[in-house]
């Protein structure tokens, strides 16, 4: 059967059943194994010409080329494994059947026929033993299968019984859960009603207290305004009395200052007159610390001025 996307470009008549193929990495020769035990060398690309070597007494089952394209390994049903040197260019180029007939058949046999027969008989015995063991194993497996079926049936019955019991427990628990949920919902409703009534009562109390505090605040505010007005009046009276006192004190100070100015002016005039009189008289006190006024006063009152030193 052709694969998808493949195309047959050439068909060749092999005259024998090809059991295995091997293509070297070089890709110039295609090796083919036949059911007669021969290995063929085809030119590649295929032209139909080949060279065949008889290697096995039976069909060849495996054919493989080494990684260096030097050896060809073949294995057959006769129990032999052959290594062929494929580096010979002359043999690889053989293309006619006459040249094939000139070449001798390979006579190398790795296993003798007696050993092969003995091996075959041994294989037959082993196959019989395998068949007997297979029958015994199948019988044991049937017994185990029956035992396991019985065991599975027992476990199934047991688990079904436990499942029924657990289902009943689950239904009871579910019913109890539903009852508890209904009870809790009823309690929750009652608690919400009680909470709402208490909240309304507290709200009313707080509203009353709030109104009382507002009224008290208004009263205190009015008292504060009255106190502010009284203080403003008292402050105005104090300011007025203070200004009046200051004015009176200023008037008294001005009057005293005027009197002192007049007194000073009178003294200055008197001093001037006395100095003139002293100048006219030509008398001078021998003490330079004594003033002319004191000198004239002393002259008019006594014999002269005394030189007094302060203590």
- Give the residue carrying structure tokens 């009395």: 241
End-to-end CA distance of the chain: 160
304 CB neighbour count, 10 Å cutoff:
12
Tokens of 182: 């209904």
- pLDDT confidence of 105, banded at 50, 70, 90? low
**Whether pLDDT at 301 is above 70:** no
**Whether pLDDT at 306 is above 50:** no
Q: Which residues neighbour 43 within 8 Å (Cβ) at sequence distance 6 or greater?
A: 28, 29, 30, 49, 50, 95
Whole-angstrom distance, CA of residue 101 vs CA of residue 293: 187
- Range 43-46, long-range pairs (CB < 8 A, 24+ positions): 43/95, 46/10, 46/12
Half-sphere exposure of 159 (CA within 13 A, CB side): 6
pLDDT score at 3: 53
pLDDT score at 108: 55
68-89 per-position pLDDT tens digit: 888 889 999 888 888 888 875 5
Listed residue (294, 260, 289) closest to 278, CA to CA: 294
Tokens of 36: 């007669």
71 close to 86: Cβ distance less than 8 angstroms: yes
32 close to 73: Cβ distance less than 8 angstroms: no
Whole-angstrom distance, CA of residue 277 vs CA of residue 271: 10
Whole-angstrom distance, CA of residue 245 vs CA of residue 138: 140
Task: Give the bridge partners for 40, in sequence order.
Answer: 32, 52
**Whether pLDDT at 159 is above 60:** yes
pLDDT score at 47: 79
Cis peptide before 140 (omega within 30 of 0): no
**Whether pLDDT at 219 is above 80:** yes
93 CB neighbour count, 10 Å cutoff:
14
29-77 per-position pLDDT tens digit: 889 999 888 998 888 778 778 888 888 888 899 998 888 888 889 999 8
267 to each of 272, 278, 297, how far by Cα in Å?
A: 8, 16, 14
**Whether pLDDT at 94 is above 50:** no
């Amino acid at each position: 059967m052709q694969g998808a996307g493949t195309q047959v470009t050439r068909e060749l008549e092999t005259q024998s059943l090809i059991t295995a193929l091997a293509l070297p990495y070089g890709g110039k020769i295609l090796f083919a194994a036949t059911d007669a035990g021969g290995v063929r060398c085809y030119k590649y690309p295929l032209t139909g010409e080949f060279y065949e070597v008889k290697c096995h007494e039976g069909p060849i089952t495996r054919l493989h080329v080494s990684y260096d394209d030097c050896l060809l390994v073949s294995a057959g049903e006769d129990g032999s494994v052959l290594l062929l040197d494929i580096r010979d260019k002359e043999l690889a180029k053989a293309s006619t059947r006459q040249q094939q007939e000139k070449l001798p058949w390979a006579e190398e046999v790795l296993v003798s026929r007696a050993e092969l027969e003995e091996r075959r008989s041994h294989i037959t015995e082993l196959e019989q033993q395998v068949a007997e063991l297979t029958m015994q194993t199948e019988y044991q497996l049937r017994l185990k299968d029956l035992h396991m079926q019985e065991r599975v049936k027992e476990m199934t019955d047991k688990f079904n019984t436990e499942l029924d019991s657990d289902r009943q427990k689950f239904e009871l628990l579910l019913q109890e859960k539903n009852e508890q949920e209904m009870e809790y919902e009823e309690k929750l409703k009652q608690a919400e009603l009680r909470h709402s009534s208490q909240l309304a009562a507290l709200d009313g109390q707080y509203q009353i207290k709030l109104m009382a505090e507002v009224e008290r605040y208004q009263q205190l505010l009015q008292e504060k305004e009255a106190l502010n007005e009284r203080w403003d009046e008292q402050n105005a009276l104090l300011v007025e009395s203070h200004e009046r006192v200051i004015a009176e004190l200023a008037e008294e100070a001005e009057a005293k200052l005027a009197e002192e100015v007049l007194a000073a002016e009178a003294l200055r005039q008197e001093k001037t007159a006395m100095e003139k009189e002293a100048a006219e008289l030509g008398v001078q006190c021998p003490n330079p610390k004594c003033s002319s006024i004191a000198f004239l006063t002393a002259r008019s009152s006594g014999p002269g001025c005394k030189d007094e030193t302060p203590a």
